[in-house]
Structures are given as structure tokens and as C-alpha cells.
Structure 1
Amino acid sequence: MSPRQRDRVRSLIADADTPIDAQTVAAALSVHVTTARFHLNNLVEEGSAVAVGLPPVGVGRPRVGYRLVVAPPIDDLMLMLIARLGATPEEREELAAEVGHAWAAKHLPTTDLGPDVLPDPVVLAETILTRLGFRITDVVSAFGQHEISLCGCPLEELEKDLPEVARGVVRGLLEATLAAGSATLSSHYAVQVRPAPGGACELRLNLSQVAEASSSH
């Protein structure tokens, strides 16, 4: 497959509303499925796409789907503009959290399963983070508390120059995701984001049960 054909694969994924598998790509481009899978995997390795699990068709193993990484462009001018949005790091983080809420709203359905149903907060977090191009590196759960380690590569430039903005965006993203998952879920968990020790673009995301939620069980 030539570079131009590789661009056609990328465009095919970008135009799809949901993740598509190698069979779909192969049929659309009239190539062998092995060829389609080879170039899809290359897109994943270069960071242009992510692989997600898809339900099987009929009886069989789960399929692998692919979607493009959504990476907002950040350059020097944009960084300078963002830096002026707040007078202090704390103000910038809160403003960034509002942006995170809006970002989540564009990529998550606003469905409420009802007050008596609480979805798994880790599953919700992993779903939106993976969808937006973050890479989960570790998950530790104990006694209702969850710590998720992730590579913040989509916000790498922000993390490097304006770390409080990167943290605010991720926090707002997760707060909105929990609220979308259930009307009561966001009141059960507090979201905290901090840099991982020694990680260039690594972040630690904590989902901690709040006291009111813990005492009600």
C-alpha cells in the first residue's frame, strides 16, 4: 500500500462515526485484510490511531476496531493565549476544567441510567480517555478508590509549559464523564489529577469516594 493509500486508510477512519475494523477497511479499499491490518497497526504505532474492542458479529472472538487520535493542535501562539486566560495557575486550572467539560460533551452521549444505577467509574474514565487519544498505563483499585496512570500525550505541550492547564482539562473531562454516566455518580466521586513522579507527560488520576457517599452504604 503506497503512502497515498495509507492516507486513504486514515481518511476512512476519520470519516467513520464509530471505530471500524480491518475487514471494513479492506472491503472499502479493495485490498487484502492482512494488508489493511498491517497499515492500521502502523497507524497505532505512530500514534495516529488507537485500537478498541468491538463486539463480535455472531459467534466468534471480539473484533478490533480503530479510531483516529483526537489531538488538539498546540503551538507557541496558542500557549501564549492560554497563559493569559487566568492570572494565577489556580485560575487557569479552573478555566481549563470548564474546557474539559465542553470537550467531554462533544464526545459522550448524555444518557442517565437512573439514580439507582451506578456505572463503573473506571470503565467510564478509560472509555473517554482512550477515545480522545490518552494511553492508560496502569490502574490500581482498592476499597472503592481508583488510581489511573495515563500518558497525557494529546496534551503533551500543555503539560510541558502549562501543567495546571493540562491537569484542569483532564479533571473537567472526567467530571463531565462521570456526570454523563449517571446523575448521582459525580456526587459519589471526587476527581484529582496530579503529575506522575518522573514522568515527562504522565499523569495520575484519582477517583476517590466522597464521605457522604461512603457513609450512606
Structure 2
Amino acid sequence: MTTRATVLQILRDAPEPLPIAEVAARAGVHVNTVRFHLEALTDSGLVEQLRAEPTGPGRPATLVRAVAAMDRTGPRTYLPLAQLLLDDVAAGPRPKEHARRAGRRWGRRVAEEVYADHPEPVDGLIDALGELEFAPERTSSTELELHHCPFLELTTPTGGLVCAIHLGLMQGVLDGAGSDVRVERLDPFVRPDLCCARLSAAS
């Protein structure tokens, strides 16, 4: 068990809030180490801090206790869920069109955040793709190279629905920017380690 998990378990097992020094003693680690982990657990909503009742002069002690909540930092298994949803789209009419539309909606939401910092549309698209772990590289005014696919396990050798979603995502980001540049197509796996997005020149 990690130190952070140990700290959380100590608090979950405690019938009442504990002083930080007591948590450190029970965990067998330095109090500053416990403070570090408590800060992260508090940010995750798993722990809350409160003041002890004053017992005399001076600042009341800080107490900590676990919050009844699922651990948002714990293991995740999204792959089966994603595959289930893709299978459902694939079974319906015009699945690639459906997937691309979903991607465009996603892209427009992404654009709302991206273009606060990037007035140039393609720069904003590159930044968005980088944040999503596509490892983009602009090689010309009409081409973006994508050196990683964060959804690789769900793709097919010819791309499939995942690539349709990705194409729609890029189109939606540029739509959200009001850009004249368009992503005309996405060529999946032009090499085993590379996909290419083809852009239209700005009018």
C-alpha cells in the first residue's frame, strides 16, 4: 500500500477526526510527508480539514477526517465502456457520420477553452491536440502529422469510428474558432507510427 493510501485508510478507520501529528505517528512517516499527502487527498475531495475546539490561548489544532466518497484517483477501466459505445454507434445507421458529428460537438467544447489563449486557429488546434496526447506536428500549411493516438486500442487498421470521431474533433475545434481553415480529411496510419490531417488553405 502506498503512503497516500495508508494515510487515507488511517483516517477511514478512525472514529473521529485526528490531528495531523497523530496521522503521521500511525503511518510511521514524517509529519511533512503526511501534510503533502493530505493536501492531495483534500484536493481530490477524499479528506477534509477542520479546526479543533479551542482549549486555551493560541491557534486551535487542525484535525483531518476522511470524506465518504469514491476515490477519483483510483484505477479506471474506460476501455470496455468505450468499446460498448462504439459498438452501439456501429450498429446504427451511417455510423461514421454519427461518429464525426459527435467529434465535432466535442471539438466545439474544446475550442471554448483553447481560443482564450490562442488567437491563431491552427495554433489553437495544435495546442488542443497536444493536450489530448496526439503528439501533433505542423509540417506545412496544409498538413498536420499526428505521432500518437490516445485511443489506439479502439482503432482498426483503416481507422474506423475512432478516426471519424478524431476528424470531427479537429473540424469542431476550427469551427469553434470561426476559422476559414478546414480539416478536409484524416489519413490514418500512413505509417505504423503516423496519421496525417489534411488542411485546406485559408481563403
Q: Superposed, which structure 2 residues align to 1:110-125 within 5 Å?
A: 119-125=119-125
Q: C-alpha separation between the residues in 1 aligned to 2:133 and 2:38?
A: 19
Percent identity over the alignment?
Answer: 17
| Amino acid corresponding to residue 195 of structure 1 in structure 2 | P
Whichever of the two has the greater Rg, that structure is 2
Q: Superposed, which structure 2 residues align to 1:1-217 within 5 Å?
A: 4=4, 73-75=78-80, 78-86=82-90, 91-109=94-112, 119-136=119-136, 138-141=137-140, 144-153=141-150, 155-160=151-156, 163-182=159-178, 185=179, 187-199=180-192, 202-209=194-201, 213=203
| Amino acid corresponding to residue 106 of structure 2 in structure 1 | W
* Contact 1:98/1:172 (<8 A) preserved: yes
| TM-score for both structures, normalised by structure 2 | 0.53
Q: 1:79 to 1:145 in 2, by over 3 A?
A: same
The structural deviation recorded for 1:175 is: 0.9
| Amino acid corresponding to residue 109 of structure 2 in structure 1 | K
Q: 1:86 to 1:124 in 2, by over 3 A?
A: same
| Amino acid corresponding to residue 139 of structure 1 in structure 2 | R
The structural deviation recorded for 1:109 is: 1.2
Q: C-alpha separation between the residues in 2 aligned to 1:206 and 1:139?
A: 10
Tell me, which stretches of 5 or more residues in structure 2 are unaligned?
A: 5-35, 46-75
Q: C-alpha separation between the residues in 1 aligned to 2:3 and 2:152?
A: 27
Q: 1:3 to 1:105 in 2, by over 3 A?
A: farther
Q: 1:6 to 1:81 in 2, by over 3 A?
A: same
| Amino acid corresponding to residue 120 of structure 2 in structure 1 | D
Q: RMSD over aligned Cα, in angstroms?
A: 4.0
| Amino acid corresponding to residue 161 of structure 2 in structure 1 | V
